[in-house]
Amino acid sequence: MAAIAEVARPAAAIRACIFDAYGTLFDVNAAARAMAGELGADWQPLANAWRSKQLNYSWLRSLMGAHADFWQVTADALDFALDERGLNRPDLRRRLLDLYYNLACYPEVPDMLRRLKQAGLITGILSNGAPAMLQAACASSGIAGLIDHCMSVEEVGIYKPDPRVYRLVTERLNLPAQAVAFHSSNGWDIHAGKRAGFYAIWINRTGQPAERLPNPPDVTLDSLDDVPAILGAA
């Protein structure tokens, strides 16, 4: 994690804090983990395959010009992951999807959002998730009242990292990109956000190596705990 004293502070005044949803605010492993008692040692490999294929399908559909919303992509990815592990049970599929629809957020998220809002910063989500998915996750994790704007790729019909997705933020908020702090746990997403002009904070929860892509993040952290202090909202 970057030490706060060593962080390159944003050059412009930050007025809005925008977050990726899945893996950044919401724990993408929570659904499979909740069924660890039944899945046993299969739960983590299943969660990993589900997430990997979910992202792969979003990119492939964008390249193919065959958009489907993220709920369909999520279900298709789960079907692949279950098939790969020989777990073709309709009841298991249904329960995992129900759990994913109502994901928990990471423990530090509610307090972090409260501190940002108390400092007068705008909060928002920019996600691949379909609007109904995002609303359900915000409600189930108790953060709906802490999010000012919830922006979905469904508004442009293509997935991240297409530049049109990131432009949703500046268009919706009527702010210059330099006034936005963008947070994501996905390295590829944070590089795209930085390329769009945002102050980019990579939440590298799993200790991944740096991506070999242009426009690296301004800050790398291992959780969202220190975000308010970095943005002067402590």
Task: Provide the pLDDT for residue 6.
Answer: 57
Q: Which of 20, 27, 189, 218 is catalytic?
A: 20
Domains along the chain?
Answer: 4-27+104-230 (3.40.50.1000), 30-101 (1.10.150.240)
Instruction: Determine what percent of the chain is predicted with pLDDT higher than 90.
Output: 93
Q: pTM to 2 decimals?
A: 0.95
Cis link prior to 90 (omega < 30° from 0)? no
| Model pLDDT, residue 5 | 47
Q: Which residue has the higher pLDDT, 88 or 127?
A: 127
Q: Is the pLDDT of residue 11 over 70?
A: no
Determine the average pLDDT of the residues in 129-137: 98
pLDDT reading at 89 higher than 70 = yes
Beta bridge partners of 202: 184, 220
Query: What average pLDDT does range 162-170 have in this prediction?
Result: 98
Q: What's the pLDDT score for residue 59?
A: 98
Q: How far is CA 40 from CA 49, 92, 99, in A?
A: 16, 13, 17
> For residue 2, is pLDDT > 60?
no
Dist. CA 81–CA 42, nearest whole Å: 11
* Segment 181-211, tens digit of pLDDT: 999 999 999 999 999 999 999 999 999 999 9
Mean pLDDT of 131-139: 98
- Indicate whether 10 pLDDT > 80: no
Distance CA 79, CA 88 (A): 8
Judge whether 79 counts as a catalytic residue. Answer: no
**pLDDT of 4 higher than 60:** no
Q: Give me the chain's average pLDDT, please.
A: 95
Nearest to 182 by CA among 160, 157, 154, 211: 160
